[in-house]
Amino acid sequence: MRSFFHVSDIGDLGKALEEARQVKATPFAWKELGRDKTIILIFFNSSLRTRLSSQKAALNLGMNPIVLNVGADSWKLETQLGVVMDGDKSEHLREAIPVIGSYCDLIGVRSFAGLQDRDFDYAETILSQFIEYSGKPVISLESATVHPCQAFADLITIEEYKTKPRPKVVMTWAPHPRALPQAVPNSFAEWMNAADVDFVITHPEGYELDPKFVGDVVVEYDQMKALEGADFVYAKNWSCPGVSRPEDYGKILNKDMDWVVDARHMAVTDNAYFMHCLPVRRNMIVSDEVIDSPRSIVIPEAANRVVSAQVVMKRMLEDLR
Ligand code: AN0
Ligand code: CP
C-alpha cells in the first residue's frame, strides 16, 4: 500500500476486517516487521486519539515513531505554491517534505481543511504534496477531505457489535459552535457504502456531502424518520460542504438544537448503539444521558483506532520488504 486515503486503498473489506481481528488478538506478533523502521507523524492540527493510537500502533509493530507538531516544534510551513514568503512561514513544504522523507520509511499527516477555499481543500493539496515529494508511503491522519483511519476503526467497531447480518447505520448531523471539516462524514459515508450495511444519512438542508463520497445514498431530511429502527447511530457535525452553493463552503448554516442526539431520538431506534469519533461536545452533539448510557460505544470505538492504524502500517511495512 503506497498511500492510505480511500476505502479502495485497503482492498477487500472482508480480508481487512479479518486482519483487524488478528491484529487485535495478537498485537505484538509482527514486532520484527518494524525493526529499524521509522514512521514520522506530522501534525498541523491538534489531536488526542490519532496522535496516541498511531504511536501505539507503530510501537506494537516494533517501529520507531517520531512526532512533529508543525509550527510548535518546527518552523511554520508554507503550503501554497507560488507565493512570496514574506509572512510568518519560514519554510516551504517543497523543501520540508523531501527532508522529512529522507529521515523515515513511512509518513502520517494530519492536516485539516482550511475551510476557506473549497478547490484547495478538495484537491487534497497538502497531502498530495507529501505523496509527490516524500517518495514514502503516506497515511492520512485526517487530511482536508478524508479521515480513513477513523472510518476503518468505525467499521471494525460496527462489525464487533452488530447482531444482524446487515445492520441499519444512520449518520446524523448534529450542531456545533464552530465550523468543522467534512473529512469524518466523507470517509464514514465512503466506507459504509463499501460495507454490507443499510446506510442512511440525515442532515438539515444545505449540508449535502460531496457525491464523490456519498454516492447515491438517499438523504432523509427528517431526522426522526431516518433514525427509526436504526442499529447504530453515528453522530457528527460538519460545516457546509458547498456542493450546491460554493459560496457557503465551510459556513455554519444551522445550529438547531433539536438535532442534538438525546433519549427522544434513541427511543425510535432498535435499541441502537451510539457512536462518535470524539472529541465530542456534550449536550451540543449528544446528551449526557445518551453518551453515558450502556449503548454508547464511543470508548471501544476509539480503542479500535490502534487496530485500524496497525493494519494500515503493517501492510505498508510488508510492501517495503
Ligand atoms: C475535528 C473534525 O471534526 O474534523 C476532528 C475530529 C476527529 N474535530 C474538531 O475539530 C472538534
Ligand atoms: N477521532 C480523532 O481523530 O480524534 P483526535 O482528533 O483526538 O485525533
Q: Which three cell numbers stand for residue 137?
A: 508511503
CA 84 / ligand 2 centre spacing (Å): 33
Strand order in the sheet with 64-69: 3-4, 138-140, 106-110, 38-43, 64-69
Mean of pLDDT values over 191-210: 98
Q: Which three cell numbers stand for residue 203?
A: 442532515
d(CA 180, CA 201): 18
Q: Which three cell numbers stand for residue 98?
A: 523531501
Q: Ligand nearest 277 Cα, by number?
A: 2
Pocket of ligand 1 contains residue 183 by CB under 6 Å? yes
Looking at residue 186, what is its pLDDT?
Answer: 98
Pocket of ligand 2 contains residue 52 by CB under 6 Å? no
Q: How many helices (H) and strands (E) does the chain have?
A: 12, 11
Nearest CA to ligand 1 atom 3: 180
- Asked if 277 and 250 count as a contact pair (C-beta separation under 8 A), the reply is no
State the number of CA atoms in the 13 A half-sphere of 39 facing the CB: 34
> Domains in the chain, ordered, with CATH?
3-146+305-320 (3.40.50.1370), 150-301 (3.40.50.1370)
- Asked if 39 and 58 count as a contact pair (C-beta separation under 8 A), the reply is yes
pLDDT at position 71 over 90 = no
Ligand 2, closest atom to CA 50? Answer: 8
For the whole prediction, is pTM greater than 0.85?
yes
Give the helix ranges, DSSP H, for 103-250: 118-122, 125-134, 148-161, 183-194, 211-214, 223-227
Mean of pLDDT values over 262-290: 98
pLDDT band at 321 (very low <50, low <70, confident <90, very high): confident
Q: Which residue type does 107 have?
A: I
Q: How large a percentage of the chain has pLDDT more than 70?
A: 100
CA 157 / ligand 1 centre spacing (Å): 19
pLDDT at position 232 over 90 = yes
Pocket of ligand 2 contains residue 187 by CB under 6 Å? no
pLDDT band at 111 (very low <50, low <70, confident <90, very high): very high
d(CA 289, CA 89): 45
